[in-house]
């Protein structure tokens, strides 16, 4: 029976919930908004499947050797403009679907929160394109993946390194028709924070909006440029767009203030998830290969042995492996916890003005800095 004694023992992959033959494990939010498993002891039969599929508590996958690193651009400018970097995820996804396969990835639900979706046609790939800066709900996508694989379908599964590790543990064997893609992960913010943030934006607009009036959300809009990406929200009453340098949700994320506890000691760094490819922004490409840079996005693709499917409409340039550490150190290193994380979550309540709280913790006044320090000293806790 799985028993999470502290938050750093759970990555939130949901493998234990899906593996339980009695469906006696719920996955519930804690006060910070992160989900953890809880076992109904009256229904548990002590089969220990939940423990066997946990990628954190037992048998973390062995690190894989990096075979090649590429700078890559999909030469479909419309799709690249709507992707976070060079649109290579969309490129490979299209190839899989054309072969009769399916693609799993993170997309928005009707409340503009994020869950994993199964996409079976090219038109719906837009639903899972682009970065979403909060933890996705896996729900039953591992079960669905296993069913599709055993039916002989090709499956491309994308997610955070911990979600890929959870899938691999859940499946408990290798499948030739499975392709796994993760990305260089900075960490996952709490869905609760995004929920409160979006509601506060709607409230502050004074336009009588609700969630149903929102038409699209883009965490990585390139309308201001790839480097100066922005949070862009389109509603029936107009567009709200704020650069990530100025948007408080993005600033808190980049300062490591709102991340899941295990993200500060992630066990899946350095190719330790079992994925076939790892993808990221190739931030240093302008200095390495200027012909691969136009401020509209270039992907870094790390291959552990598999080759990228197809080469048409694809610009691909092999780069040295050491460029990963230089330009994407998060591949190897966990996030460093922000000093004000304990202050922020200590004051996080359902009725709080989340924008004011984020502002207080990110750019505090002198009085707030003193108050925050006193709070940190008197509310020390092991996360």
Give the sign of the dihedral formed by CA 163, CA 167, CA 169, CA 173. negative
Write the CATH number of the domain with boundaries 7-52: 3.30.70.20
Tokens of 82: 């709507």
pLDDT surpassing 90 at residue 377 = no
Domain range summary for the chain, segments of one domain joined by +: 7-52, 68-186+259-331, 191-257+339-378
Among the listed ranges 63-67, 99-103, 278-282, 326-330, which one has the minimum average pLDDT value? 63-67
Helix H or strand E encompassing 177: none
Taking only the tens place, the pLDDT of each residue in 364-373 is 777 777 877 8
Burial of residue 190 (number of CB atoms within 10 Å: 0-12, 13-18, 19+): buried
Taking only the tens place, the pLDDT of each residue in 286-325 is 999 999 999 999 999 999 998 888 888 999 999 999 999 9
Average pLDDT over residues 61-66: 79
pLDDT surpassing 80 at residue 383 = no
With a pLDDT cut of 70, the percent of the chain lying above it is: 97
Question: What is the pTM assigned to this prediction?
Answer: 0.94
Among the listed ranges 60-74, 135-149, 182-196, 339-353, which one has the minimum average pLDDT value? 60-74
Q: Tell me the C-alpha to C-alpha distance, in Å, between residue 182 and each of 128, 161, 262, 364.
A: 14, 5, 17, 36
**pLDDT category of residue 59 using cuts at 50, 70 and 90:** low
Mean of all residue pLDDT scores within the chain: 93
pLDDT surpassing 60 at residue 382 = no
Taking only the tens place, the pLDDT of each residue in 200-219 is 998 888 767 788 899 999 99
d(CA 65, CA 272): 10
Determine the pLDDT at residue 62: 67
pLDDT surpassing 90 at residue 3 = no
d(CA 71, CA 369): 43
For 380, list phi and psi in degrees, rounded to 5.
-65, 140
d(CA 72, CA 276): 16
d(CA 11, CA 159): 13
Determine the pLDDT at residue 236: 87
Tokens of 224: 């201001």
d(CA 318, CA 88): 14
Determine the pLDDT at residue 376: 75
Give residue for tokens 């790939």: 125
Q: Tell me the C-alpha to C-alpha distance, in Å, between residue 285 and each of 82, 230, 245, 372.
A: 20, 20, 21, 39
**pLDDT category of residue 166 using cuts at 50, 70 and 90:** very high
320 neighbors 69 (Cβ within 8 angstroms):
yes
Determine the pLDDT at residue 380: 65
pLDDT surpassing 70 at residue 60 = no
The number of angstroms, rounded, from the C-alpha of 30 to the middle of its chain's C-alpha atoms is 19
Determine the pLDDT at residue 320: 96
pLDDT surpassing 80 at residue 230 = yes
Q: Where do the DSSP E strands lie in 92-229?
A: 102-108, 114-119, 155-158, 178-183, 214-221
Determine the pLDDT at residue 308: 85
Query: Between these two residues, 306 and 94, which has the higher pLDDT value?
Result: 94
């Amino acid at each position: 029976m799985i028993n999470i004694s502290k938050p750093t023992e759970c990555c939130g992959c949901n493998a234990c919930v899906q593996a339980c033959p009695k469906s006696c494990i719920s996955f519930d939010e804690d006060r910070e908004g992160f989900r953890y498993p809880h076992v109904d002891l009256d229904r548990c039969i002590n089969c220990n499947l939940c423990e066997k599929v946990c990628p954190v508590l037992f048998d973390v996958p062995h690190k894989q050797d990096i075979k090649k690193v590429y700078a890559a651009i999909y030469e479909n400018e419309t799709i690249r403009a709507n992707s976070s970097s060079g649109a290579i995820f969309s490129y490979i996804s299209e190839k899989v679907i054309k072969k009769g396969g399916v693609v799993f990835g993170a997309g928005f639900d009707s409340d503009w929160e994020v869950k994993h979706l199964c996409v079976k046609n090219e038109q719906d790939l837009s639903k899972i394109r682009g970065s979403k800066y909060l933890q996705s709900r896996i729900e039953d996508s591992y079960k669905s993946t296993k069913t599709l694989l055993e039916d002989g379908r090709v499956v491309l599964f994308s997610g955070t390194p911990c979600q890929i590790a959870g899938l691999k543990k859940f499946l408990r064997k290798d499948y030739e028709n499975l392709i796994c893609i993760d990305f260089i992960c900075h960490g996952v913010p709490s869905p609760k924070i995004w929920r409160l943030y979006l509601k506060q934006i709607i409230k502050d607009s004074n336009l009588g909006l609700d969630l149903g009036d929102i038409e699209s959300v883009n965490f990585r809009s390139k309308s201001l440029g790839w480097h100066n990406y922005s949070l862009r929200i389109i509603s029936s009453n107009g567009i709200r767009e704020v650069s990530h340098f100025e948007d408080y949700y993005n600033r808190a994320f980049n300062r490591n203030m709102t991340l899941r506890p295990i993200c500060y000691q992630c066990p899946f760094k350095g190719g330790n998830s079992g994925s076939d490819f790892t993808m990221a922004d190739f931030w240093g490409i302008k200095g390495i290969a200027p012909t691969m840079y136009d401020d509209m996005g270039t992907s870094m693709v790390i291959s552990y042995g598999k080759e990228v499917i197809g080469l048409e409409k694809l610009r691909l340039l092999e780069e040295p492996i050491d460029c990963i550490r230089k330009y994407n150190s998060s591949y190897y290193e966990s996030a460093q916890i922000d000093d004000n994380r304990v202050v922020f979550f200590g004051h996080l309540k359902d009725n709080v003005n989340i924008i004011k709280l984020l502002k207080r913790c990110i750019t505090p006044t002198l009085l707030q800095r003193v108050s925050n320090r006193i709070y940190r000293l008197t509310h020390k806790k092991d996360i």
